[in-house]
Amino acid sequence: MIYETIQNIAKKKNIPIRKIETDLGFSNGTIRKWDTSQTISIKRVKAVANYLKVDPYTLLLVGIDMNQIKVGD
């Protein structure tokens, strides 16, 4: 799901999820809750994508091999 995708990309960049949330002004646990939320703010997804320097659509992809995704520095 989206949390796992974000977590994998963040891990490759050595960025804790909590740091992303803090730097973007999100409450603790916000990103994790996206997996169980019925609605997710596209504005927030875009903010996380920009933070991680990936295309926002990358975060929305489910069931892909994360080893095939190239992440920018």
Does 52 fall in a domain?
Answer: yes
Instruction: State pLDDT tens for residues 18-50.
Output: 999 999 999 999 999 988 877 788 899 999 999
**What is the predicted pLDDT for the residue at 63?**
52
Instruction: State pLDDT tens for residues 49-61.
Output: 999 999 998 888 7
CB atoms within 10 A of CB 4: 12
Whole-model pTM: value is 0.81
Q: What is the number of domains present in the chain? A: 1
Coil, helix or strand for 15? Answer: coil
> d(Cα 48, Cα 21) in Å, to the nearest integer?
9
How would you write 7-48 as a 3-class SS string? HHHHHHCCCCHHHHHHHHCCCCCHHHHCCCCCCCCHHHHHHH
Domain CATH number, residue 45: 1.10.260.40
Does 72 fall in a domain?
Answer: no
